[in-house]
Structure 1
């Protein structure tokens, strides 16, 4: 009986090391030509209702049309965010929710509306301005980007660490 539990534990541990598989959705020509980033993202929201979210991610596309997949430490998909000029969607656990804007979608997925246009620039090492946000790109050559929203309240801290 003890050996059976050890085998189960090892199986769970090995599953946690597995690389999450991509969904089979075809990418547009623009998305295929765009860079892809993978790493870890953390969003901490301060204020009267503080919250935090941390996940591994895979980001493809650009601010107009793209996909962001979020994964748990064990590699299970926490959510898949997709956007085009026509629609914005969050898929999680087989449920699909549609939103009016990318700001609404990122707020639902991470706890804060994120400046997606600026994030794409920051990931490329460009000091893109976003209203209310201060970005620190000093560690961008090492694959680390941090940004802090100071206005409007509540304060939000965004940290991205890219896989190298």
Structure 2
């Protein structure tokens, strides 16, 4: 019975993947004054750090004042939650609460690797973070804060990124953004299409 259920689930997952046609995309630099916008997205997260892989689901709510990030097990249970606001960052995991001034410091201390949330807030929407310098590779990929960032969109919806892949020496992070519940395209005084 379990083998049959696993087989049917695998077929469903393969079928779900085949309904999307991914299109590589370049990050669109924002020029002029940028107004941040809230978003609400769920998806899957895969991290490979020094040869060790980790996979999880996530729910992420971003507002102008804070971020709420719930990390979920493969069966959907919340195993850690991260809350960032103007006072700093709190991580609740394994019944313990940890605090730091920023996400990168806290995740490096707790996980051994930094989650670049300050840039990721912009990268998941397809743009470089306006507060940091960046370059574009000849293939159209973004390089910022020491990361190579590849953005992929669904051919049926070119506005919202579908996948964001980050790489740097010894580490890769891949986010598959499967459920955008709130998304307002970022705009500036002189937007680049």
TM-score scaled by length of structure 1:
0.66
Checking the alignment, whether the CA contact within 8 Å between 2:88 and 2:101 is kept in structure 1 is yes
- Measured after TM superposition, the shift of residue 107 of structure 1 is 2.5
CA 63–105 in structure 1, closer or farther in 2 if over 3 Å, else same: farther
Higher relative contact order, chain-length normalized (CA < 8 Å, sep 6+)? 2
Partner of 1:136: 150
Partner of 1:147: 166
Cα distance in 1 for partners of 2:68, 2:49 equals 23
CA 105–53 in structure 1, closer or farther in 2 if over 3 Å, else same: farther
Checking the alignment, whether the CA contact within 8 Å between 1:43 and 1:110 is kept in structure 2 is no
Cα distance in 1 for partners of 2:110, 2:174 equals 15
Partner of 1:99: 100
How many residue pairs match? The answer is 127
Superposition CA RMSD, Å: 2.6
Partner of 1:85: 86
- Measured after TM superposition, the shift of residue 99 of structure 1 is 2.0
Q: Deviations over 1:3-39 (max 9, x none)?
A: xxx9xxx9xxxxxxxxxxxxxxxxxxxxxx7111100
- Measured after TM superposition, the shift of residue 109 of structure 1 is 5.5
- Measured after TM superposition, the shift of residue 103 of structure 1 is 0.7
Q: Is the helix fraction higher in 1 or 2?
A: 1
Cα distance in 2 for partners of 1:74, 1:91 equals 19
- Measured after TM superposition, the shift of residue 120 of structure 1 is 1.4
- Measured after TM superposition, the shift of residue 137 of structure 1 is 1.3
- Measured after TM superposition, the shift of residue 132 of structure 1 is 1.0
Q: Which runs of 5+ in 1 are unaligned?
A: 1-5, 11-32
SS at match of 2:127: coil
Q: Deviations over 1:28-67 (max 9, x none)?
A: xxxxx71111000111112xxx433210001111586211
TM-score scaled by length of structure 2:
0.57
SS at match of 2:69: strand
Cα distance in 2 for partners of 1:38, 1:86 equals 25
Q: Is the strand fraction higher in 1 or 2?
A: 2
Q: Which runs of 5+ in 2 are unaligned?
A: 6-36, 135-143, 180-193
Cα distance in 2 for partners of 1:89, 1:147 equals 24
Q: Is residue 35 of structure 1 aligned with residue 49 of structure 2? A: no
SS at match of 1:75: coil
